[in-house]
Amino acid sequence: MIGPVQAGFQAGNYRAMVTDGGVHTISDWANITIKMICEPAPDASENVLKEISSFKMLAFKILVYAFNEAKSYKSPLALKAVAHDAAQRIADLSEMTRWRHLFDNPDMRQQIEDLISRNILTMREIALKTE
Amino acid sequence: MAGFTTAFPTSFKGELPQGVHNFTATTGHDFKVALGKVSPTGTYGAATTNYSNLTGNSDETSGTGYSAGGYDLTAAQNLTPATSGTGAYWQWGTNPNWTSATFSTVGCLIYNSSASNKCVYVGSFGGTQSVTSGTLTLVQPANGVGTSLLQLN
């Protein structure tokens, strides 16, 4: 028996990032970005959680470098290049992990690059508003 | 129960096939993100239809660094809806942010300021977000199936 077709309208969620007494730090940006790239499944095993934690620590360093580098550029093209490079390095980092197949997906790689790029551009926007 | 629940508004579902909203990058409509105050009197979710629902209940956030109406998402920030498999997804190219800010909020509405302020998204922050002389940024998820702010799957 064929059931009713589900319309499937869905709404995703923002993550609120708050910094009192100033603007977000480079670490804040790197931290929230990596959380959005690597979100463990609720039922992930202890071993998987350990692997994710190691991966996140290395990816965090890549992102800190990228957000720092982005501070010295102004042109949108240069900022996008920084995001592209960081996304590529994170994908390279996945080579030895069980998630390699996810990072091999071009759509996934593009989503990660766009996420980093958007966060870099927002960091720049905030800097321009507060300088 | 009063408060915010993340939802794709039902009225928006009906407006989509009527071509009320244009999310095309650069040439589409302008949108805005308005914040809701702590302990609102109204209920915001799938039944929310318009920004006026928020203002009518005096439930919009107020405080230093927040202007009534909210953050502008101009057409230049629209990301033209993309498709993958049998689904479509879209959001914006920037993260709404408020600087030198002192206020608290629990949720938000995104509405179309080019189309009579019709609501296209309701979001809950899962609790109170308070900022003091600082910066509040609403960071968008990855733009894709299963994650984007707005999806038709």
Instruction: Decide if A4 is inside a domain.
Output: no
Would you state the pLDDT for residue A4? Answer: 38
Mean pLDDT for B126-130 is 97
Q: Do B144 and A111 touch (CB under 8 A)?
A: yes
Q: Higher-confidence residue: A76 or A114?
A: A114
Taking CA atoms, what residue in B is nearest to A107?
B144
Q: Does A20 touch chain B (CB under 8 A)?
A: yes
Say if A50 falls within a structural domain: yes
In chain B, % of residues over pLDDT 90: 93
The stretch A110-116 carries a mean pLDDT of 95
Q: What is the mean pLDDT of chain A?
A: 90
DSSP string, A47-58: HHHHHHHHHHHH
Q: Nearest CB to A12: which of B100, B131, B147?
A: B147
Q: Does residue A106 fall inside a structural domain?
A: yes
Q: Letter for the amino acid at B87?
A: G
Query: What local confidence, expressed as pLDDT, does residue B23 receive?
Result: 98
Domain boundaries, chain B: 3-145
The answer to whether residue A113 is domain-embedded is yes
Handedness of CA B120, B125, B127, B131 (dihedral sign): negative
- ipTM score of the complex? 0.94
Cβ–Cβ gap B125/A20 under 8 Å = no
DSSP A94: G
Confidence of residue B131 (pLDDT cuts 50, 70, 90): very high
Domain ranges, residue A80: 26-38+45-130
Domains contained in chain A, number:
1
- Look at residue A7 in the predicted model and tell me its pLDDT: 52
For residue B41, the distance in angstroms to the closest alpha carbon of chain A comes to 22
Lowest mean pLDDT across A98-112, B64-78, B109-123: A98-112
**The pLDDT value given to residue A99:** 84
User: pTM above 0.90?
Assistant: yes
- From chain A, pick out residues whose CB is under 8 angstroms from the CB of B141: 12-15, 36, 115
Element (H, E) at B22: none
Q: Are strands B31-36 and B71-73 parallel, antiparallel or unpaired?
A: antiparallel
Dump strand ranges (E) for A2-81.
9-11, 15-19
pLDDT at position A74: 82
List, for residues B1-45, the tens digit of each pLDDT value: 899 999 999 999 999 999 999 999 999 999 999 999 999 999 999
Question: How close B147 comes to chain A (CA, Å)?
Answer: 6
Contacts of A15 in chain B (CB under 8 A): 138-139, 141
From the list B100, B33, B101, the residue with the least C-alpha distance to B63 is B101
HSE on the CB side for B60, CA within 13 Å?
18
Asked whether the CA dihedral B75, B116, B111, A108 is positive or negative, the reply is negative
Integer Cα distance of A103 and A81 in angstroms: 19
Average pLDDT over residues A102-124: 93
